[in-house]
Structure formats: structure tokens, C-alpha cells
């Protein structure tokens, strides 16, 4: 799901390990893990977020994505 705002976990703003950006994420839930993807295309695993968190924030899903790549395509990346 697109997530244009900063993500705050444990009172810390999550930043991209590669380019340091802290907002305009895609949050991707796959195989029980939650990944953050910045606009520059860097991905990092965010272990502090889980599928329960994701489902709470994403609401009812209109599509199930068989693969990670399908998911990215669906989101326009
Ligand atoms: Zn980045």
C-alpha cells in the first residue's frame, strides 16, 4: 500500500538505509513479512511491523497478489 507519511516506530522515524528518505513509502506485506520500499526503489525489511499491523492499516484488500512482482505492478512501480 502507498504510505506517503513518515513511519514512526518506538519514537523513531524510520529512514531508508540507502538514501535516508523518511516518507513516501510503499509498504508491502508478503509471506508474513513487512517490507518498506522508498521512492528510489530501495527495500528494507521492517521486523517491527507485522502482517497484523499491515492489515489493520490497509483495510480490506481489493486484490490478493500472488507474487511480490505482481504487487509492485499493481501499485504502479
Ligand atoms: Zn532509499
Tens digit of each residue's pLDDT (9 = 90 or more) over 42-77 = 999 999 999 888 988 886 555 555 566 677 777 766
Candidates 39, 71, 35; CA nearest to 50 is 35
> Distance, CA 46 to ligand 1 centroid (Å)?
14
Domain hosting 10: range is 2-74
Residue 15 CA to ligand 1 center (angstroms) comes to: 8
| 14-33 pLDDT tens trace | 999 999 999 999 999 998 89
Question: How many structural domains comprise the chain?
Answer: 1
Ligand 1 geometric centre to CA of 20 (Å):
6
Ligand 1 centroid distance, CA of 25 (Å): 9
Q: In what order do the strands lie in the sheet with 43-45?
A: 2-3, 25-30, 33-37, 43-45
User: Would the pTM of this model clear 0.75, i.e. be above it?
Assistant: no
Amino acid at each position: 500500500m502507498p504510505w506517503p507519511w513518515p513511519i514512526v516506530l518506538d519514537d523513531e522515524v524510520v529512514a531508508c538505509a540507502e538514501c535516508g528518505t523518511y516518507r513516501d513509502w510503499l509498504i508491502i506485506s508478503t509471506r508474513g513479512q513487512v517490507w518498506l520500499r522508498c521512492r528510489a526503489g530501495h527495500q528494507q525489511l521492517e521486523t517491527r511491523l507485522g502482517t497484523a499491523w499491515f492489515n489493520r492499516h490497509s483495510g480490506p484488500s481489493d486484490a490478493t497478489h500472488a507474487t511480490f512482482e505482481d504487487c509492485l505492478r499493481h501499485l504502479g512501480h
